[in-house]
Amino acid sequence: MGMDGDSGGGLVNGILLDASLLFASDHNNQNLSSASASASASLLPAADSLLRKLRYSKIRTGIFYEPELSAIKVCLLEEMTRLKLFDSLIAVASSIENVVSEVALTWGENIASHTLVVSGQEELCLKLRNSGWMTAILRSPGHGPANDIEFPTGSETSSSILINKLEELPLTVCHLNKKAESKENILVVGYIMKPSREEDFAKRGAFPLYPTQDGLIFLPLNYELPIPAQLQQVDILLHKATDEIVDVEMSTASEFVNTIEYTKGMQELQRYIEHHLDCCVIDPFPNICPVLDRLKIQQILFGLENLCLKSCYKIRGPRFLKVESFKEPNLQDRLFEAKLSLPNIVKPQVACGVAVAHSMAIVFKMEDYKDLNVPLPAVVQEYVDHSSCLFKFYVLGEKVYYAIKKSTPNAATLMSLSEEGDLKPILFDSLKSLPIDKKNQQLEDGVNNAGNHQIDLELVTDAANWLRNVLNLTIFGFDVVIQEATGDHVVVDLNYLPSFKEVPDDVAVPAFWEAIKWRFRLWKGVEKA
């Protein structure tokens, strides 16, 4: 059979779940009339979340059920199969042994040694194990203290893996897949980010639990499980720290960095990393901090002006001024000294992590500053006329990609949009809606051409490489607009771990993986930056 009791049967590429694990137990409903007891069925939250994680993980997922499962639950599972939320629903007739033959019928004969069966039924697991399957027994709740987890991934006896919670399953698969390959060939990337972002990446196939050709496995970290036990499995930690900020103290403190408050889970993660330097972090918190601060970003972009790049165009950040209060009596003089002429775009200094970080305004008249409703401290920037054409650049390790997007119109058009021509400031949330010219949805001068100027990709690529070194980040994005009057390439925004949605999946996903491996090699000291 080639099954070695300890190491399992090679890489796990399929999971078969016992349906009875996915629903809350019915005991509480037993006294209700059968009508209300069976009126609805819903998955346990842990089961729902597990199926979501497995859905795009390149691990085939099946659910089997026995005749006792109520019709309403079967109905729900059938509906889920129709919606392709998992791969196969397998009805097991009278006897437990039928699982083997039914699965073989559905998935083909050769699957047994690569499929992990998860059930609460020890007897079933034992039998399957004897027929060459990998099995995991989910301990029923109350069967031993839940916190007494023998990590990693439960204890493996010669017959079965024991797990305490469904949530542990990705960790179990990761552990088995790591063990099945020789250690040097597999790198586990533990990742943490907000669920919507995770889903965006996962849907593109960026987070497989089954090893990529490059040997990467992606393990979703879960704050519900002990962090140390999870990180012990992890070689590389990928995190979007900016999703994990509870608050940023927007004081005028010079040490902006110290005023960020992370979620409890992220704090624990940080503490663990500080004491365990044997994990490559993409990217370390201190590297990310500057990107949270628009003033800091401006100061970094200022360095672009000293680059001697061969181009007839200049690349630079926008002119800017930090403002503590819009009522400052000498604001006008300070704007003048900073070479800022109206209109201006005004942004909060804090670039992310708080709801108001994207509340911005375009200001046309000096007298409108005093009542301006933009969170302070703020950064005032020149408004660059750029023919509504924005170039989004993405840096993935050593690679640079870009996409073109429609953006805000020229100042003159904006002024004509201002209600009743009174030139009141335009307030907007840059994540939700940019002020655009609804009458003219086309880019003002055709797509690839911002005004009179063609983008100088070599210039921007050189700048991207410079930024990568200065920021010391693995994955980041920045936006470039081309000033109509001068052809200056102006970097107007910079962000950490963007979605790079505009880059096609077949290009973006391998580049994303390669970027991770590139950083890992640097961290190992195998490669020079």
Ligand X SMILES: *[C@@H]1O[C@H](CO)[C@@H](O)[C@H](O)[C@H]1NC(C)=O
Which residues bind to ligand X, rule: CB under 6 A?
283-284, 287, 472, 523
Output 120 or 284, the one with its CB closest to ligand X.
284
Output 36 or 469, the one with its CB closest to ligand X.
469
525 vs 521: CA distance, rounded Å: 6
Output 287 or 311, the one with its CB closest to ligand X.
287
Closest approach, Cβ 397 to ligand X, in A, equals 12
Residue corresponding to tokens 């069976």: 38
438 burial level (CB within 10 Å; 0-12, 13-18, 19+)? exposed
Closest approach, Cβ 233 to ligand X, in A, equals 20
158 vs 527: CA distance, rounded Å: 42
Closest approach, Cβ 187 to ligand X, in A, equals 15
Closest approach, Cβ 292 to ligand X, in A, equals 17
Closest approach, Cβ 322 to ligand X, in A, equals 26
DSSP state of 429: E
Adjacent-strand bridge partners of 475: 396
CA dihedral 275, 280, 282, 285 (to 10 degrees): 20
From the list 165, 164, 186, the residue with the least C-alpha distance to 175 is: 186
Residue nearest to ligand X (CB): 472
Output 243 or 283, the one with its CB closest to ligand X.
283
Residue corresponding to tokens 């500053």: 369
Closest approach, Cβ 13 to ligand X, in A, equals 32
**Under a CB-based contact definition with an 8 Å cutoff, are residues 343 and 365 in contact?**
no
79 burial level (CB within 10 Å; 0-12, 13-18, 19+)? exposed
**Under a CB-based contact definition with an 8 Å cutoff, are residues 519 and 282 in contact?**
yes
Q: 440: which 2 tokens?
A: 């003219």
Closest approach, Cβ 516 to ligand X, in A, equals 12
Closest approach, Cβ 472 to ligand X, in A, equals 4
The residue type found at 74 is V
First to last CA, the chain: 47
Output 291 or 374, the one with its CB closest to ligand X.
291
Output 53 or 239, the one with its CB closest to ligand X.
239
**Under a CB-based contact definition with an 8 Å cutoff, are residues 505 and 474 in contact?**
no
226 vs 222: CA distance, rounded Å: 8
Output 273 or 380, the one with its CB closest to ligand X.
273
Closest approach, Cβ 204 to ligand X, in A, equals 24
Output 113 or 287, the one with its CB closest to ligand X.
287
DSSP 135-155: EEEEPPTTSS-TT---SSSS-
Closest approach, Cβ 469 to ligand X, in A, equals 8
Output 391 or 518, the one with its CB closest to ligand X.
518
Give the orientation angle of helix 294-302 with respect to helix 457-471, to 10 degrees.
120
Output 215 or 284, the one with its CB closest to ligand X.
284
Task: Return the percent helix, strand and coil in the chain, to nearest 5.
Answer: 35, 25, 40
Adjacent-strand bridge partners of 89: 63
SS3 466: helix
- The residue length of the chain stands at 529
